[in-house]
Amino acid sequence: MTIIRTVFTNLQRLRIAVNTRFLLKDKLEGIGTFQHETLQRVVRNHPEHEFVFIFDRKFSEEYVYAPNVQPVVAFPQARHPYLYYIYFQYSIPRLLRKYKADLFFSPDGYLSLRTNIPQVQVLHDLAFEHYPEDISKSGAWYYTKFFPQFAERAQRIITISEYTKKDIVELYSIAPEKIDLVYPGAAPSFKPVNEVIKQVTRRRFTKDHAYFLYVGAIQPRKNIGNLLKAFDAFRKSYGSGIKLVIVGRKAWKTQELEAIFEEMKFKEDVVFTGRLSNEDLGHVMGSALALTYVSYFEGFGIPILEAMQAGIPIICSGVTSMPEVAGDAALLVNPFSVESIKDAMIQMAKDEKLRTNLIAKGTIQQTKFSWEKTATGVWDSFVCVLGS
């Protein structure tokens, strides 16, 4: 890779077009965070090249990271499967021609089948292949029809875990040599907090009570229904004042979750905060008794890493990519078993030595990941395409 990078550095000034439609002010989630943290580093690290950021709506200037970034807006706003097709198969090729792009980079996985320009795709996960019922019928149709074609068309595929890499190879028959493993990182705002901040945070959100924490969008595969059932069972068994804080927006297909919540005995001890500012989220994470992240499918699971950086212990699912991310720094549970989740919560609440041990292991595990490493890995994928 060193030889290729040297060749690439000596090339003429290149123009790299980037799909940046998930860079939405105050609305960054997993993919948006990946884009934000990675792209700001890539463009600043490589001022010798030009970047065309393609948004699908009015953009915030904070995402124009450096003078070598030219922002443009393409239409229509791509937030529905039918509009995805128009946007990526017609609007994107037109802009690639207009700006004479040498490469198209898509951090959310959507590519164009109507251009010959080299493309690098990030495939975060294939959850829609395993659980199509968790999304809309039109969304499932679009993803299962086009994403295999996108993977085939891409010159390089970046993915974020060994689990997802294996999934792509097996489901889409893609050669593993075409796939680059590039782990995400976590923002520096996630760090241990002092006792004063913990007290203020707990007073604000849980009336001075300790709490388990979930962070992420509220949607089916995050398995919040089983988390609520487990928390109810935990409270019945443990009898403490410990609460459950759920941070994140209400996304889609939440009717079953709402029905479960209404049936809870201890629903008054569940706190839904909605979205939080970066500062508040860092404080809420660092003040939690433990993270409870029991999704039944993840391509990575960035909150697991955020919890490690914040110095709190973790309960997470022992399926898909999550054991890979957590290593030995978490209690692993069966996400389909309420009993398994409940037992882990009891164990975590009772055993201070366990919590201390998991925090120490997390301090070591989290050093494997950083956004600087992510940006380098993404750039190396560009090198493989344009520097060869």
DSSP code string of 19-53: E-TT--TT---HHHHHHHHHHHHHHHH-TTSEEEE
Beta strands in the chain (DSSP E): 15-19, 50-55, 69-73, 103-106, 119-123, 156-159, 179-181, 211-215, 243-247, 270-274, 290-293, 314-317, 331-333
C-alpha closest to that of 252 among 281, 282, 218: 218
What pLDDT, in 10s, does the model give residues 197-234?
999 999 999 999 999 999 999 999 999 999 999 999 99
pLDDT confidence bin for 388, thresholds 50/70/90: low
Q: Are residues 174 and 252 both part of a single domain?
A: no
Q: Which amino acid is at 267?
A: K
Q: For CA atoms 197, 200, 203, 205, give the dihedral sign.
A: negative
- Domain match, 76 and 167 both: yes
Same domain, 51 and 200: no
**Residue 21 resides in a domain:** yes
Q: What is the CATH number of the domain that holds 323?
A: 3.40.50.2000
Same domain, yes or no: 234 and 279: yes
Distance of CA 308 to CAs 34, 97, 191, 338, Å? 18, 44, 8, 24
Answer whether residue 1 is part of any domain: no
181 shares a domain with 199: no
**54 lies in a domain?**
yes
Q: 236 and 114 in one domain?
A: no
Q: Is 190 part of a structural domain of the chain?
A: no
pLDDT of residue 203: 97
Q: Is 34 within the bounds of a domain? A: yes
Which tens digit of pLDDT belongs to each residue from 332-353?
A: 999 999 999 999 999 999 999 9
Examine the domain organization and report whether 340 and 201 are in the same domain.
yes
- In this structure, the answer to whether residues 166 and 227 fall within a common structural domain is no
**Residue range 141-170, pLDDT digits in tens:** 999 999 999 999 999 999 999 999 999 999
- Which of 22-61 are b and which e, b meaning 16 or more Cβ less than 10 Å from the residue's Cβ? bbbeeebbbbbbbbbbbbbbbbeebeebbbbbbbbeebee
**Assigned domain for 2 exists:** no
Which H or E element spans position 306? helix 302-310
The predicted pLDDT at position 13 comes to 87
User: What is the mean predicted confidence (pLDDT) over 95-115?
Assistant: 98
Residues 28, 173, single domain; the answer is yes
Domain-embedded: residue 297:
yes
Inter-residue contact 253 to 280 (CB < 8 Å) = no
What does 111-166 look like in DSSP terms, one character per residue? Answer: --SS--S-EEEEE---HHHH-GGGS-HHHHHHHHHHHHHHHHH-SEEEES-HHHHH
179 lies in the same domain as 211: no
CB within 8 Å of 240: residues ≥ 6 apart: 210, 349
Q: Letter for the amino acid at 27?
A: K
Residue 250 has a pLDDT of 87
Give the residue numbers spanning the domain of 344: 195-368
Domains identified in the chain, total number:
2
Whether residues 213 and 162 share a domain: the answer is no
Three-state secondary-structure class, residue 101: coil
Domain assignment present for residue 128? The answer is yes
Mean pLDDT taken over the chain: 94
Residues 66 and 163 in one domain: yes
Is the pTM of the predicted complex or chain greater than 0.85? Answer: yes
